Amino acid sequence: MLDKALCGSKRYWTLVMILAGLAGAGTLAYIYQFQNGLGVTGMSRDVSWGFYISQFTFLVGVAASAVMIVIPYYLHDYKKFGKIVILGEFLAVASVTMCMLFIFVDMGQPMRILNVLLYPSPNSILFWDAMVLNGYLVLNIVIGWTTLHAEKKQTPPPGWVKPLIYLSIPWAISIHTVTAFLYAGIPGRHFWLTAIMAARFLASAFAAGPALLIILAMIVRKYTKFDVGKEAIQSIGKIVAYAMCANVFFILLEVFTAFYSGIPGHMHAFEYLFAGIEGHNKLVPLMWISAIFAIISLIMLIPPGIRNKESNLVKACILVFVSLWIDKGFGLVIGGFIPNHFGTVTEYWPTLIETIITLGVWAIGFLTLTILYKVAISVREELGTAKSEY
């Protein structure tokens, strides 16, 4: 079926070439980083994790969001998701790939990465993260590919796929619970030391992932004959609405605990992010944009009258995605390091090389997504099953 990715329109090839070009630029930038050390990034002794890990943290959520489509469709026979399930599974594949690439480019000694397997350390959450991410990648590739292939052959999928699909549901929850545990178990970082971290990850994942899926489904509908169906998009829109409400609620819970208790360690990170400390305020504009986008998106998502119009829904989804990307991509990881353990502030901002490498990894992810989507779309277009009946 991969051959379907080798024939396409001029528009398809242009997209592929642009993404490949960005990926190439990212690779060259990575070679520069590999030779000169991670000092070429904006990370420092105080802020020892930066853009790469924060992108990984955000994308783990997007990867897990496929479960929001899988549960209704496979567990509850919600037929309206019939056409969009494959898009969700392939989005999961692309996202997990990006997660693992971001971890790889962040490592100081990437050539030694097999040490994680050679010297397994079950006490380390990073070890478990490596295990569950790889497992999830394999699960989604196998499930997506097998079901699509069976569809192409116009036969029901083989029986062994069903248990794998059921397995993928708790596995999806596990990937971002484990990633949340990376942060939530660290004794010295009060911004992260909260039981609600895993729940926040779930809520923001189930908002950002399906939001991206809606955007992608609408792009696919505009440029190909593949139409997932109006009702599928509306249902996912409801999921995004509820998840975003939960996510904003959880953040407000955190704000309450921090500021009502008045404990300095809990308040400081919020102060740095939203007001700045002692003149250090690089992240303040970004965090307020994230907050404002979140509020506007809720205004657009909650009332059905506004949400039901697809043009509003897609705008709200873009706001949700950007808001949550800032929240996880800048707020969560970097906020955990500032102020440092001595109470002083060392700020962080990604450098140019870091940004190019990041864009390169995103490009590889979207290239993977493009190719997989092309295969799925072409298979269905040829079968004549590209339009959903809902």
Partner 1 sequence: MSIDRRKFLKIAGLTGIGLGLSAADLLVKNAADASVASHAGSRAATRLGLVIDVNKFRSDADYQGIIDACHSIHNVPTLIPEKNNPKNEVKWIWNDTYNHTFPDQVNDYHPEGLLKKPFPLLCNHCDNPPCVRVCPTKATFKRSDGIVAQDPHRCIGCRFCMAGCPYGSRSFNWVDPRPYIKKLDTNYPTRTMGVVEKCTLCVERLARGLEPACVEASNGAIVFGNLSDPESDVRKILNVKFTIRRKPSLGTLPSVFYVMGGDNHVG
Distances (CA, A) of 296 to 129, 211, 235, 257: 34, 15, 20, 24
Distances (CA, A) of 357 to 12, 35, 328: 24, 14, 18
123 near partner 1, judged by CB under 8 A: yes
Pick the binder of partner 1 from 45, 155, 279, 384 (CB under 8 A). Answer: 45
Measured CA to CA, the distance from residue 315 to residue 307 in angstroms comes to: 10
Q: Which of 153, 97, 63 is nearest to 145 (CA)?
A: 153
Pick the binder of partner 1 from 59, 87, 106, 174 (CB under 8 A). Answer: 106
Measured CA to CA, the distance from residue 372 to residue 4 in angstroms comes to: 9
Give the length of the chain.
390
CA 211 to chain centre: 11
Pick the binder of partner 1 from 78, 127, 171, 242 (CB under 8 A). Answer: 127
With respect to partner 1, which residue has the nearer C-beta, 158 or 303?
A: 158
Pick the binder of partner 1 from 9, 14, 48, 134 (CB under 8 A). Answer: 48
163 near partner 1, judged by CB under 8 A: no
39 near partner 1, judged by CB under 8 A: yes
> Using CB under 8 A as the criterion, what x/- string covers residues 172-201 for binding partner 1?
----------x--xxxxx------------
Measured CA to CA, the distance from residue 305 to residue 32 in angstroms comes to: 52
Shortest CB 272 distance to partner 1, Å: 15
Q: Which stretch binds partner 1 (CB under 8 A): 17-25, 116-124, 142-150, 172-180?
A: 116-124
132 near partner 1, judged by CB under 8 A: no
Pick the binder of partner 1 from 9, 36, 134, 261 (CB under 8 A). Answer: 36
Pick out residues in 57-96 that bind partner 1 (CB under 8 A): none
Shortest CB 375 distance to partner 1, Å: 30
With respect to partner 1, which residue has the nearer C-beta, 9 or 36?
A: 36
Q: Which stretch binds partner 1 (CB under 8 A): 69-77, 89-97, 124-132, 216-224?
A: 124-132
The residue to which tokens 């990370």 are assigned: 43
Pick the binder of partner 1 from 76, 305, 342, 384 (CB under 8 A). Answer: 342
With respect to partner 1, which residue has the nearer C-beta, 46 or 151?
A: 46
Please write down the HEC assignment for all residues of 77-104. Answer: CCHHHCCCHHHHHHHHHHHHHHHHHHHH
Q: Are 86 and 376 in contact (CB under 8 A)?
A: yes
Q: Is 316 helix (H, G, I), strand (E, B) or coil?
A: helix
Q: Which stretch binds partner 1 (CB under 8 A): 15-23, 65-73, 81-89, 126-134?
A: 126-134
108 near partner 1, judged by CB under 8 A: yes
With respect to partner 1, which residue has the nearer C-beta, 107 or 252?
A: 107
Structure tokens, 219: 């792009």
102 near partner 1, judged by CB under 8 A: no
Q: Which of 177, 179, 199, 197 is nearest to 189 (CA)?
A: 197
Residues 6+ apart with CB under 8 A from 262: none
State the angle between helix axes of 197-223 and 161-184 in degrees (0 to 180), rounded to the nearest 10: 130
346 near partner 1, judged by CB under 8 A: yes
Q: What are phi and psi of 302, to 5 degrees?
A: -75, -50
CA dihedral 22, 26, 27, 30 (to 10 degrees): 180
Q: Which stretch binds partner 1 (CB under 8 A): 84-92, 172-180, 205-213, 341-349?
A: 341-349
Pick the binder of partner 1 from 27, 44, 257, 281 (CB under 8 A). Answer: 44
Q: Which stretch binds partner 1 (CB under 8 A): 3-11, 107-115, 227-235, 321-329?
A: 107-115
Eight-class DSSP state of 157: P
Shortest CB 25 distance to partner 1, Å: 23
Q: Are 348 and 44 in contact (CB under 8 A)?
A: yes
31 near partner 1, judged by CB under 8 A: no
Cα Rg of the chain, angstroms: 21
49 near partner 1, judged by CB under 8 A: yes
**Footprint of partner 1 (CB under 8 A):** 36-39, 43-46, 48-49, 103, 106-110, 112-113, 115-116, 118-127, 130, 182, 185-189, 265, 336-337, 340-344, 346-347
